[in-house]
Amino acid sequence: MEFGRESASGYSERTKSHIFGVQAALQLKRGSLPVIKKIINKNNKSSVVKNKAVQIALVLGVIVSVGLWWGHEDAISPVETVAADTPQPDSAVSAPNDTPPAVRSGASATYSDRASDEMVALSAGLRDKYLTTITHAKIQVHVLEKMMDLLKSVYGADWPSHMEELIRLTFPEWAEALLLRFQNLQAYYEWSKDARFDLAAMSDQDRRQTMWERRKALFGDDALIIWQGQLRTEQMQDVVKSLNEATSMPLAEKMDTYFSQLQSIYQDEAPAAISRHRQEVMDHFLTVDAVQQNLHGLSADARHQHLRQLREKVGLDNDALNRWDQLDAERDQRWLKGKDYMQKRNKLAQTLVGAALDDKLQSLQNSEFGEEADIIRNEEASGYFRYEGEQQYGIN
């Protein structure tokens, strides 16, 4: 579930005030202060804002919500985003044994009492959303990055000095583990920044090895959980590379190998991953040069059978399969016409030049492509000839 979409009736009083604050934040973004007053007056009638402290939290919710909805996003993180309702994996991280008992038990009343109003407002939704999954290493990093973004939106460059307070207030039972995770995460970001030019100069294999060595040095085995998405991407790149090198392997065997490797990499998540990314799964296979070589070497009927088999493997139903069959036929006809056009065009270019050639080409393009003739002319004027290369079966 996304933050802010839950029903207010399912939250604590503090979190409810934050949700009302989102309403006011939307109006603040639009510059409508009178509407904000109406929202506050309306909610003053409910138990959510009957006490003064919660009224303050409501106003602070406006400030925080602006940062939450429109805050600056940093550069893309190496951590794959995880939904809050992701089931807790077996590899969940346990609290360190040396964590103080008071912290592990969640006894942070004194810390909460002296927490700033801003920290209370920032913390309001994070605990409700992530408490049941905070034991997972990837969730921990995801939450830390959200905290950093929230703090930057409120405190700007001074955000690091408030990080410990927000961590201890939001997840007291995990404070020590999260603080250590935060320190290692910052160390990794600094190393990545300092080493970026050296990494760019390395081969793909050396860069991978160097980055994984650094991740494991800082995060241990948790690195494989935190960067699971990156690991899977690299493994799939290796699969594609091996298929591309297997020029003598029959197409059916390539397809079986591809899906077998998908299953091995994603394991129990494979069916769901394929279902969510059917097009990407098909495209990654069909854009392998060796696969296209196989397809070009088949008869039209055999090619149709293999393409249909690929689409069946990703779970398309009969209606979708039939639509793909029709699209394949249309694409084949378009390429036959395009290849015929290129032959005629090249023949004209061998005998004509200048205005005479332009006139003949315009006439040829109009007769071959009709309403698309202008598009073809503009493409060729820019140096692009769409039918000069080979058709990629299943792709175009």
Q: Are residues 276 and 348 in the same domain?
A: no
Q: Are residues 295 and 355 in the same domain?
A: no
Share of the chain above pLDDT 70, in %: 71
Q: Mention every residue, 6+ apart, whose C-beta is less than 8 A from residue 92.
A: 135, 136, 137
d(CA 188, CA 214): 8
- How far does Cα 54 stand from its chain's mean position? 36
Inform me whether the pLDDT recorded for 334 exceeds 50: yes
Mean pLDDT across the stretch 310-318?
97
d(CA 124, CA 141): 19
Model confidence pLDDT, tens digit, residues 30-45 = 444 444 444 444 444 4
Report the b/e string of 303-336 with b at 16+ CB within 10 A.
bbebbbebbebbebeeeeeeebeeebeebeebbe
Q: Are residues 47 and 2 in the same domain?
A: yes
Q: Are residues 29 and 66 in the same domain?
A: yes
d(CA 288, CA 247): 11
Mean pLDDT across the stretch 322-333?
97
Report whether 88 contacts 135 (CB < 8 A): yes
Q: Please, is 239 exposed, middle or buried when counting C-beta atoms within 10 Å of its C-beta (0-12, 13-18, 19+)?
A: buried
Position 188 in a domain: no
d(CA 134, CA 372): 55
Position 247 in a domain: yes
Residue 267 corresponds to which tokens in the numbers above?
A: 């394991």
Model confidence pLDDT, tens digit, residues 154-211 = 889 999 999 999 999 999 999 999 999 999 999 999 999 999 999 999 999 999 999 9
pLDDT, residue 116, reads: 72
Model confidence pLDDT, tens digit, residues 101-157 = 333 334 344 455 556 777 787 888 899 999 999 999 999 999 999 999 999 998 899
Model confidence pLDDT, tens digit, residues 65-97 = 333 333 333 332 333 333 333 333 333 333 333
**Number of folded domains that form the chain:** 3
Q: Are residues 55 and 9 in the same domain?
A: yes
Q: Are residues 312 and 247 in the same domain?
A: yes
Model confidence pLDDT, tens digit, residues 250-282 = 999 999 999 999 999 999 999 999 999 999 999
Q: How many helices (H) and strands (E) does the chain have?
A: 21, 0
Residue 361 corresponds to which tokens in the numbers above?
A: 């080409």
Inform me whether the pLDDT recorded for 48 exceeds 60: no
Position 223 in a domain: no
Q: Please, is 78 exposed, middle or buried when counting C-beta atoms within 10 Å of its C-beta (0-12, 13-18, 19+)?
A: middle
Residue 168 corresponds to which tokens in the numbers above?
A: 């201890």
Element (H, E) at 329: helix 318-351
Domain boundary among 52, 70, 88: 70
Position 274 in a domain: yes
- CA proximity to 205, closest of 234, 225, 230: 234
Residue 260 corresponds to which tokens in the numbers above?
A: 């077998």
Position 166 in a domain: no
- 60-64, 91-95, 316-320, range with greatest mean pLDDT: 316-320
Residue 149 corresponds to which tokens in the numbers above?
A: 């973004």
Tell me the CA distances in angstroms from 86 to 129, 131, 139, 265, one per residue in order. 11, 12, 9, 19
Q: Are residues 4 and 55 in the same domain?
A: yes
d(CA 253, CA 289): 15
- Mean pLDDT across the chain, nearest whole number? 79
What is the DSSP annotation of 293-304? HHHHTS-HHHHH
Position 249 in a domain: yes
Residue 218 corresponds to which tokens in the numbers above?
A: 């800082």
Domain boundary among 316, 344, 363: 316
Cα angle 302, 306, 311; round to 5: 145
Q: Are residues 242 and 308 in the same domain?
A: yes
Report whether 84 contacts 1 (CB < 8 A): yes
Mean pLDDT across the stretch 13-22?
43
Position 194 in a domain: no
Q: Are residues 234 and 312 in the same domain?
A: yes
pLDDT, residue 382, reads: 96
Residue 379 corresponds to which tokens in the numbers above?
A: 């493409």
Residue 7 corresponds to which tokens in the numbers above?
A: 């029903």
Inform me whether the pLDDT recorded for 27 exceeds 80: no
Q: Are residues 64 and 20 in the same domain?
A: yes
| E-strand stretches of 16-97 | none
Q: Are residues 234 and 310 in the same domain?
A: yes
pTM exceeds 0.85 for this model: no
d(CA 180, CA 199): 26
Report whether 136 contacts 116 (CB < 8 A): no
Residue 52 corresponds to which tokens in the numbers above?
A: 């003064």
Position 57 in a domain: yes
Share of the chain above pLDDT 90, in %: 67
Domain boundary among 70, 95, 113: 70
Structural domain including 361 reads: 334-381
